[in-house]
Amino acid sequence: MKKVTLINHPLVQHKLSFIRDKNTGSKDFRELIEEVAMLMCYEVTRDMPLEEIEIETPICTTKAKALSGKKVGIVPILRAGLGMVDGMLKLIPAAKVGHIGLYRDPETLKPVEYYCKLPSDIGERDIIVTDPMLATGGSAADAITLLKQRGAKSIKLMCLIAAPEGLEYVSEQHLDVDIYTAAIDEKLNDHGYIVPGLGDAGDRLFGTK
């Protein structure tokens, strides 16, 4: 199994409790998801390569560190993954954003892509797939397969809450993908919701339902 990293920073855990709370309305829910995504992004990008550059301070010339130019791509899985994008762009504004929308055909059980627009140089970018809820892991695994078919070589998956079933499934399907989550919950219920979870992330983000 590739690495699963639990991001248990106190700020992340504190905000996550309010995100879970059913009395948190859409405006606060959206803002909190954005903030948590930004904090998580800090950990997810911890291994970004640096290079040495020369700069001039007001005092003298000195060597300093700068990102080496390895490019990042953020790919939210529609629609709930969208809620995590803006927070990440605050930290990595040069990242390009792709979008993937897919569902499972209930008869064939095959993933059906209804939307896919990706940066053209996806093979040269470190891709971070976002989806707040890793439930069965089906859509995340299918989205990662799609990204690999389109040429992605370096992929991480960032979610907010994962069910053990989803972690196991994605890890089995994609041995090369590191997964980052702020919580590993107990289980899935009979309707495929994570328990205790936060309910339907898409509905809570966009005020639908």
Is position 69 annotated in a ligand binding site?
Answer: no
Say how far apart CA 17 and CA 130 lie, in whole Å.
20
Q: How many helices (H) and strands (E) does the chain have?
A: 6, 15
CB of 160 to ligand URA, least distance (A): 10
* Binding piece for ligand URA, criterion CB under 6 A, among 42-50, 69-77, 150-158, 192-200: 192-200
Cβ burial, residue 27 (10 Å; 0-12/13-18/19+) = exposed
- Using CB under 6 A, which of 33, 80, 158, 182 touches ligand URA? 80
**Per-residue mark of binding to ligand URA, 123-152 (x: CB under 6 A):** ----------x-x-----------------
Q: Which residues contact 63 (CB under 8 A, 6 or more apart)?
A: 52, 53, 54, 55
Give the nearer residue to ligand URA in terms of CB position, either 86 or 200.
Answer: 200
User: What whole-number distance in Å separates Cα of residue 195 and Cα of residue 185?
Assistant: 6
Cβ neighbours around 88 below 10 Å, total: 25
Applying CB under 6 A, among 35, 86, 165, 200 the residue interacting with ligand URA is: 200
Site residues for ligand URA per CB under 6 A: 80, 133, 135, 192-194, 197, 200-202
Binding residues: 79, 104, 131-139, 194, 199-201
| Residues designated catalytic | 104, 108, 200, 203
